[in-house]
Amino acid sequence: MKKLYSALMTAFNDDGTVNEAGTREMIRYNIDVNKVDGLYVGGSTGENFNMSHEQKEQVFKIAIDEAKNDVDLIAQVGSLDLNEAKYLAKFVTDLGYPHISAVTPFYYNYTFEQIKNYYNEIVKDVDNELIIYSIPVLTGVSLSLDQFAELFENPKIIGIKYTNADFFLLERVRNRFPDKLILSGFDEMLLPALALGVDGAIGSTYNLNAKRAKAEMNAFDAGDIDKARQLQKDSNDLISALIANDIYPSLKLVFKELGVNAGVTKRPMAQPTPEMIAGAKKIYNDYLK
């Protein structure tokens, strides 16, 4: 059974502090209404890379406390500070997170040896399994097939969150590592990823659109490709509108239309403007009502 995960958002107050009640509301909505299989906590959509260390700990605590054992949880602990990544890997493992994930280290153009060392260090002292978070569009770091193979030499490294439009590489990865967990990260390209045999998907727009994405996965599994394409088209109409309206703040504004207090994004992310708010209302009316 393929699994669908929402990339959990963090509700922020206007002053950039975490809005705990709003974050809990989004978690509940994902579990109770969206019925997702899991949550990816501390990823890009969660604005992890905007947060202080204390805020990261706070969100990891809130998510597992609210979600308990209702859904699968993956904690993204990767950081430019390897010591922080190692600390957070232990922190979330002690909290009970069943999986960890770490973004490829970025900004300083690390060599592959340095990247490999980073991953091996993160998992070394924790009794947990790690999913590589590969997102070249934001990190500028692309891993090759052979580099994934080298990382997988460590048995604690069990999969990839593959947020990449390189489908040639995805096919090669799937074919070479049939037993590894591969989760697709671009919601607008879910169908081609399913065609190449991914085990599931993690994404931002599933916070609002999980039911349609699940239906698409089910149609694909049943061999009804026409239905799956129609559902992907409907999803992509929504995703295009979200991107055009600035996706991260808009996801939160649309959540408000659904009665969920998702707070705002944290500066320097864009703050809501009247145009953006009107755009979010239109997105809700056009695609989600």
Catalytic residues: 133, 161
Residue closer to ligand NAY, measured from CB, 64 or 193: 193
Among 10, 23, 34, 44, binds ligand NAY (CB under 6 A): 44
Question: How far, in Å, CA of 201 to CA of 220, rounded?
Answer: 14
- How far apart are CB 125 and ligand NAY at their closest, in Å? 24
User: Under a CB-based contact definition with an 8 Å cutoff, are residues 75 and 92 in contact?
Assistant: yes
The reply to whether 204 sits near ligand NAY by the rule CB under 6 A is yes
In sequence order, the 6+-apart residues with CB closer than 8 A to the CB of 46 are 7, 8, 9, 10, 40, 59, 76
Binding to ligand NAY, residues 72-131 (CB under 6 A): none
3-class secondary-structure state, position 229: helix
Q: Which range of residues in 90-98, 169-177, 180-188, 280-288 is near ligand NAY by CB under 6 A? A: 180-188
The residue (of 124 and 267) whose beta carbon lies closer to ligand NAY is: 267
Nearer Cβ to ligand NAY (187/216): 187
| Cα separation, 25 vs 39, whole angstroms | 14
Name the segment binding ligand NAY (CB under 6 A); options: 77-85, 181-189, 266-274, 276-284: 181-189
Based on the shown chain and the rule CB under 6 A, indicate whether residue 186 belongs to the binding site for ligand NAY: yes
Q: Can residue 200 be called a binding residue for ligand NAY (CB under 6 A)?
A: no
Question: Which residue from 25, 66, 187, 246 is in contact with ligand NAY, where contact means CB under 6 A?
Answer: 187
With vertex at residue 237, the alpha carbon angle to CA 231 and CA 242, rounded to the nearest 5 degrees, is 125
Cα dihedral 23, 211, 238, 137 sign: positive
For residue 185, state whether it binds ligand NAY (rule: CB under 6 A): yes
Q: Tell me the helices (H) and strands (E) count for the chain, helix number first.
A: 12, 8
Strands (E), 93-241: 99-103, 129-134, 157-162, 181-184, 200-203
**Are the C-beta atoms of 69 and 95 separated by less than 8 Å?**
no
Shortest distance (Å) from residue 169 CB to ligand NAY: 17
Q: How near is the Cβ of 223 to ligand NAY at its closest, in Å?
A: 25
138 in contact with ligand NAY (CB under 6 A)? yes
Residues binding ligand NAY (CB under 6 A): 7, 40, 43-45, 138, 163, 185-188, 202-205, 239, 247
